Structure 1
């Protein structure tokens, strides 16, 4: 083999060089899947017996026949239906009217709508763009500062990373060897706490930050019969989807795949009932679903190729030996891992991190005695934080692409910082009190 002709400082650490070269290729902008597959095949031919690649078709077949991953295109389809049907816009307008008498009510309504959309779709990029198009011009019109308005919208749109049925949690469950139902239930309390902390911060800013948040209240809402009907028409559809998807999973009635099918069918029915269904809409939704699903699965296949070669080169043993040599306490290991994942989130997509880094790191964390469910939620919330942290947060780029001309990039950076601080605070709280994650799954599933 070619490895016999390499110097020891390359041959003995070939798995490390594999990881370094692949990371550099991704950061240089090469296509994700081709980077992972190409680099993995190259290093596999150098350091492994070529017969090892006979295992590759079996690994690929295992992915394509994984019933849990069948839920991915269903949830993506559901999210695209809600995005393109205009149901989200109706919800925002109604919630804005409902909170009109609350200080900072418009910003609070944006945050609540973002949470409901996150719980209905689970697709962060689509939610950020949708919220940016709908709510950012409205907030600027109501005298919110550009920085505060853009920060609020970016934070609300990113809630789909942690609020179930998040695509992150859906893909993370099988990798962590934790049931998707447990992942969804475990994320409920952290997700609710995050929304509450955001809303409290907005309300406080209406008293002390009048330069950014209008202090005046709007007209008191009148709960007339017409308004109650309007509220029900806007609020019940997303609640119906949340109950149909999450309620059936939590109750043990349906698997995540079955509940995804219910959510997809429910989203179409809601569009029909609202008179917004058309063949054009169905075509756009199907096209978007196929593109995103293909992207997800081809990245998973590339990551599978990488993990096969990395383990074949004893990379996991090298990493374990390195960590053991450092004689770390458990909390020190978690802190290092969280910082590492946070930095990776600037440059790599969550799918790549989930299927490349987590299979390597998770077994070591579990060996240190930590609950894999707790670590999975910590990982998801950490990624959510890096997803909206300047200067590389993808959420900020999504929002900037649909922002009015007067909103500068520096406004986005300034506005998102308080919400990033809140995220980090909650991450520390969850680290200190793991039962915030593990308690509810035990209550639901016993």
Structure 2
């Protein structure tokens, strides 16, 4: 098998996915087929070594712990109190309920790192409240989808944990690097809602009745609702950024902390713990199966001379570093229509890292703009996964067309953030240098 032949792995993978075969199994089958063609029976031994590498990867141990955190947060009643507390302060602002929902998404993205869980949880709380107050359906859709997608670019993020070892980057550097773009994106989302609803009040009718609670009562309720999850976030991110704990150890601290919170709110029951554990096992098995499949796929691709074939194609077109970066980001964006986030990370970063090293591109900076691009594709119709999550929890009165129109302003905000990080790389590299020197 020649190095050019190995490029057919990608069309073969796409064909299997179109046929309806799960992504993990598709990657495994393609890797097995092309591996036999190139190496014969010895590919089985190579696959066994890859299984051992994934199974003993200490960093990946953080994945089930972060998923467990999200599952407990979803069931412990913490979200309802926090949402009420946030809305209590934003209710007089234009689009105050939508702004509260985005604040919720930001906080829970920083607490759990699980994208789908954040969107589902906040959507189930915010959608009925916004419908009751006659909010525009497109605004509702864009708010929930845009806010839910923040889990990709606000640490701790599971795609970041998977990406770090592939890019040979410290997880702490990558989490610190994505923090500024993530918070910038969240801020831009809220500014858009504030400006749009101020210019067109019919998008989000304002509250007419004053809050009967006194300032002291508001502060007391806010502190009781906000402080515990913020302590949890500070524990996870603080121990990560200061170097006191590895990602897995920080996730373990967070898992223990969320159990304490559930106990504090008197929601910790055996039934709830069992449901959260089963959800954790299910999601972890799915993610790690994709990680393993991606490892097998990339292993066969590299060992068969795939990188030489890709470099030969790039050289034949005479592409410069910027052109290569643009090409890789464009492919990433298109793959977001068909593949899940973890699969794209495994496939694209495995190819991109060695190529970009030849062109002298900063891997940390590229990893950040890669994640922002990935989040943008996650939100972009027609195959936007965020819209599929919303469709599962939204009532029938919110149509698919309204969802598509609703996400467009938020996509524009993401594109602006992407352009800023590309033009000003310090937005991605300043925080890691500030923290770690």
TM-score category, normalised to shorter length: over 0.9
Q: Can you list the C-alpha shifts for 1:304-356, whole angstroms capped at 9, x where unaligned?
A: 22112112221111011111221112222111111110110111011111112
**Does 2:176 align with 1:197?**
no
TM-score of the two chains, using structure 2 as the length reference = 0.97
Q: CA deviation at 1:218?
A: 5.9
Residues 18 and 39 of structure 1 are in contact (CA less than 8 Å); yes or no, is this contact kept in structure 2? yes
Residues 74 and 264 of structure 1 are in contact (CA less than 8 Å); yes or no, is this contact kept in structure 2? yes
Q: Name the counterpart of 2:174.
A: 183
Compared with structure 1, are the counterparts of its residues 152 and 217 closer, same or farther at alpha carbon in structure 2 (3 Å cutoff)?
Answer: farther
Q: CA deviation at 1:215?
A: 5.5
The correspondence of residues 23-422 of structure 1 with structure 2, limited to 5 A, is 23-214=14-205, 219=210, 223-422=214-413
Q: CA deviation at 1:51?
A: 2.1
Q: CA deviation at 1:65?
A: 1.1
Q: Can you list the C-alpha shifts for 1:371-411, whole angstroms capped at 9, x where unaligned?
A: 11111111111111111111110110101111012100111
For residues 302 and 439 of structure 1, the distance between their equivalents in structure 2, rounded to whole angstroms, comes to: 34
Q: Can you list the C-alpha shifts for 1:260-308, whole angstroms capped at 9, x where unaligned?
A: 0000000111000000110000000000001111111111111122112
Decide which moves more: 135-144 or 269-278.
135-144
For residues 415 and 211 of structure 1, the distance between their equivalents in structure 2, rounded to whole angstroms, comes to: 15
For residues 77 and 206 of structure 2, the distance between their equivalents in structure 1, rounded to whole angstroms, comes to: 30
Q: CA deviation at 1:221?
A: 7.8
Aligned length: 437
Q: Can you list the C-alpha shifts for 1:75-126, whole angstroms capped at 9, x where unaligned?
A: 1111111012121121111111111122221111111111001001111111
Decide which moves more: 152-161 or 210-219.
210-219
For the aligned residue pairs, the C-alpha RMSD in angstroms reads: 1.5
Q: Name the counterpart of 1:6.
A: none
Decide which moves more: 217-226 or 390-399.
217-226
Q: CA deviation at 1:12?
A: 5.5
Q: Name the counterpart of 1:16.
A: 7
Q: Aligned to 1:357, what secondary structure does the other structure show? A: helix
Decide which moves more: 84-93 or 410-419.
84-93
Q: Name the counterpart of 1:7.
A: none
For residues 49 and 61 of structure 2, the distance between their equivalents in structure 1, rounded to whole angstroms, comes to: 18
Residues 345 and 387 of structure 1 are in contact (CA less than 8 Å); yes or no, is this contact kept in structure 2? yes
Structure 2 gaps, min length 5 = none
Compared with structure 1, are the counterparts of its residues 68 and 226 closer, same or farther at alpha carbon in structure 2 (3 Å cutoff)?
Answer: same
For residues 66 and 209 of structure 2, the distance between their equivalents in structure 1, rounded to whole angstroms, comes to: 37
Compared with structure 1, are the counterparts of its residues 255 and 12 closer, same or farther at alpha carbon in structure 2 (3 Å cutoff)?
Answer: closer
Q: Can you list the C-alpha shifts for 1:104-158, whole angstroms capped at 9, x where unaligned?
A: 2111111111100100111111111111111011112112111111111111111
Residues 119 and 390 of structure 2 are in contact (CA less than 8 Å); yes or no, is this contact kept in structure 1? yes
Residues 175 and 355 of structure 1 are in contact (CA less than 8 Å); yes or no, is this contact kept in structure 2? yes
